């Protein structure tokens, strides 16, 4: 077997492979000879069909089969021999199969780039930390109580915190505008869920009141037609409901699996949950920051085959997410995968960067850490044991978690070699803004 390699681009390679004719003809002859014992031809007894007859009928077909198999096996041999690392499926460009001559073919493919990592010691990161305070716990309990509140109709005037049932219609310059009409709408006063001034205009109203509220749409309002416009809302107050929060008693605590009826135990359980949430959030934030910095610091020429594959995978994931949310994924069936190219380029680049860091530092997934990650996922399911078995019953499932574990190890390695300053943050600053706001 003769092999030659031509560089047709920075990453593209064209490999020409020549196979001796006798290697092909010998294999073809062996197969045809075996077929004489099994082929049925009218006029000949089983096993007595002459080789010439079998060759005439099946020779070309067998040769094609032999060549197809030899192309696959010899290409693998050639790639290994030349120490090439294909990125994507090689494309067989042409065959040279002439009678009496050696068989030859060419294959074209991209190879993985050489990744030369930039020194991470010059990277600077601000690493946030958060201690859950007693006030944070109290605010969280207040929020949990509010989620379980009851509404009770009251005849008194409306106050902030009350939930009003209203009908309203909005007008600009005396004309009703689209989207400004609703009936039996429930609005919590003080929630700031409406345009500034709307909720304030309803404080002090009572059941049955008809009021006019004047507001001004903000300049950055989402609807272009309403930006910066003065508007008048005619509002009918149908009901005023005061909110009744549940008492922190044994029944309330049982909802959080606190069986001893002690508020101290409840606060401890809530604190652990909050700490777990904030730790996960902080980990995601610093991981994203580190990965972005690695991507920005290392410019790599990417194999287009890998980018295309990643773009198709991203499109597939996007469509599946739409289906899970109840949307019609068929509506985007004509969406070109190239829409996801920028996202795909970043992901491929990071895969190559992370892979090189893992290789250079001989990082290995820690089985104990992998198990801990799986147990954390499993704890959110009704049958954690079944989830654990699912991961450990299939190496592919386990490999996904091992990959995530290695990503965490890379982040830790980068932080261990970069310039890192700590930054203390409040719980609400780290989590969704106002998560514990009452």
Across 15-29, average pLDDT: 92
How many other C-beta atoms can be found within 10 angstroms of the C-beta atom of residue 254? 11
Query: Quick one: pLDDT at residue 438?
Result: 44
pLDDT at residue 210 is higher than 90: yes
CATH of domain 120-131+263-430: 1.10.3120.10
Query: Starting at the edge strand that comes first in sequence, how are the strands of the sheet with 2-7 ordered?
Result: 2-7, 12-19, 103-111, 86-96
Query: Quick one: pLDDT at residue 87?
Result: 94
What residues contact 243, with CB distance under 8 A and at least 6 apart?
Answer: 146, 149, 150, 151, 152, 161, 162, 163
Query: Quick one: pLDDT at residue 332?
Result: 57
Query: Quick one: pLDDT at residue 305?
Result: 94
Give the model confidence (pLDDT) of 49-64 as tens digits. Answer: 889 998 899 999 999 9
d(CA 300, CA 346): 10
Nearest CA among 160, 149, 157 for reference residue 243: 149
CATH of domain 2-111: 3.30.70.1050
pLDDT at residue 235 is higher than 60: yes
Give the model confidence (pLDDT) of 361-414 as tens digits. Answer: 999 999 999 999 999 889 878 898 999 999 999 999 999 999 999 999 999 999
d(CA 190, CA 184): 18
Query: Quick one: pLDDT at residue 434?
Result: 44
The mean pLDDT of the chain is 91
Query: Domain extents for the chain?
Result: 2-111, 120-131+263-430, 150-244
What residues contact 406, with CB distance under 8 A and at least 6 apart?
Answer: 354, 358, 363, 364, 365
Backbone angles phi and psi of 295, in degrees to 5: -65, -40
Query: Quick one: pLDDT at residue 333?
Result: 58
How many residues appear in the chain? 438
Across 18-28, average pLDDT: 92
pTM: 0.75
Backbone angles phi and psi of 268, in degrees to 5: -65, -40
Query: Quick one: pLDDT at residue 99?
Result: 73
Least confident of 94-108, 112-126, 136-150, 213-227: 94-108
d(CA 245, CA 149): 5
Instruction: Please check whether residue 391 is in contact with residue 400, taking contact to mean a CB–CB distance below 8 angstroms.
Output: no
Of residues 28 and 320, more confidence is placed in 28
Residue ranges with strand state E in 191-246:
210-216, 230-244
Looking up tokens 């920028």 gives 342
CB-count burial class (<10 Å; 0-12, 13-18, 19+) for 288? exposed
DSSP 117: P
How many other C-beta atoms can be found within 10 angstroms of the C-beta atom of residue 166? 21
d(CA 303, CA 60): 38
How many other C-beta atoms can be found within 10 angstroms of the C-beta atom of residue 51? 13
Q: What percent of the chain stands above pLDDT 90? A: 76
Q: Is 327 in a helix, a strand, or coil? A: coil
pLDDT at residue 95 is higher than 80: yes
Angle formed at CA 214 by CA 209 and CA 219, multiple of 5 degrees: 145
Tokens of 292: 């972005």
Looking up tokens 């261990």 gives 416
Angle formed at CA 430 by CA 276 and CA 343, multiple of 5 degrees: 95
d(CA 322, CA 252): 37
Query: Quick one: pLDDT at residue 433?
Result: 53
Of residues 383 and 98, more confidence is placed in 383
Residue-by-residue DSSP string for 100-123: TS-EEEEEEEEEPPP--PPPGGG-
What residues contact 139, with CB distance under 8 A and at least 6 apart?
Answer: 428, 436, 437, 438
Q: Is 166 in a helix, a strand, or coil? A: strand
CA atoms within 13 A on the CB side of 121: 1
Across 167-195, average pLDDT: 93
Query: Quick one: pLDDT at residue 155?
Result: 93
Across 72-92, average pLDDT: 93
Query: Quick one: pLDDT at residue 432?
Result: 66
Nearest CA among 89, 91, 83 for reference residue 14: 91
Across 139-152, average pLDDT: 94
Query: Quick one: pLDDT at residue 297?
Result: 95
| CATH class name, domain 150-244 | alpha beta
* Strand (E) or helix (H) holding 16: strand 12-19
């Amino acid at each position: 077997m003769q092999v030659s390699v031509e560089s047709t681009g920075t990453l593209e390679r064209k490999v020409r492979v020549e196979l001796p004719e006798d290697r092909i003809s010998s294999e073809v002859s062996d197969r045809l000879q075996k077929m004489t014992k099994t082929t049925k031809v009218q006029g000949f007894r089983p096993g007595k069909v002459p080789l010439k007859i079998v060759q005439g009928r099946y020779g070309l077909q067998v040769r094609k089969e032999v060549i197809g198999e030899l192309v696959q096996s010899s290409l693998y041999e050639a790639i290994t021999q030349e120490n090439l690392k294909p990125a994507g499926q090689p494309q067989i460009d042409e065959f040279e199969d002439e009678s009496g001559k050696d068989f030859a073919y060419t294959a074209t493919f991209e190879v993985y780039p050489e990744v030369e990592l930039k020194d991470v010691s010059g990277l600077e990161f601000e690493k946030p930390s958060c201690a859950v305070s007693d006030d944070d716990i109290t605010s969280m309990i207040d929020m949990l109580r509010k989620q379980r509140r009851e509404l009770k109709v009251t005849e008194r005037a409306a106050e902030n915190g009350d939930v009003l049932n209203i009908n309203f219609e909005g007008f600009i310059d005396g004309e009703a505008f689209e989207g400004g009409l609703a009936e039996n709408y429930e609005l919590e006063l003080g929630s700031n869920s409406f345009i500034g001034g709307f909720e304030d205009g309803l404080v002090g109203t009572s059941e049955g009141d008809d009021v006019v509220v004047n507001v001004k749409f903000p300049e950055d309002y989402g609807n272009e037609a309403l930006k910066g416009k003065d508007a008048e809302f005619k509002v009918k107050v149908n009901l005023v409901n005061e909110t009744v929060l549940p008492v922190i008693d044994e029944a309330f605590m049982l909802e959080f699996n606190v069986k001893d009826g002690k508020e101290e135990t409840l606060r401890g359980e809530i604190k652990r949950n909050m700490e777990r949430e904030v730790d996960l959030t902080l980990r995601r934030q610093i991981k994203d920051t580190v990965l972005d910095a690695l991507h920005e610091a290392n410019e790599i020429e990417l194999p287009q085959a890998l980018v295309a594959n990643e773009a198709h995978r991203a499109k597939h994931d996007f469509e599946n997410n739409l289906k899970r949310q109840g949307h019609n994924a068929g509506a985007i069936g004509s969406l070109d995968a190239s829409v996801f190219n920028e996202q795909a380029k970043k992901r491929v680049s990071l895969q190559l960067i992370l892979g090189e860091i893992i290789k250079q530092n001989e990082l290995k997934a820690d089985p104990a850490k992998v198990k801990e990650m799986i147990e954390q996922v499993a704890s959110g399911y009704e049958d954690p044991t079944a989830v654990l078995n699912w991961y450990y019953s299939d190496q592919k499932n386990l490999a996904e978690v091992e990959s995530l574990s290695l990503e965490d190890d890379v982040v830790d390695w980068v932080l261990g070699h970069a310039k890192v300053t700590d930054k203390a943050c409040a719980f609400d600053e780290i989590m969704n803004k106002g998560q514990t706001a009452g």
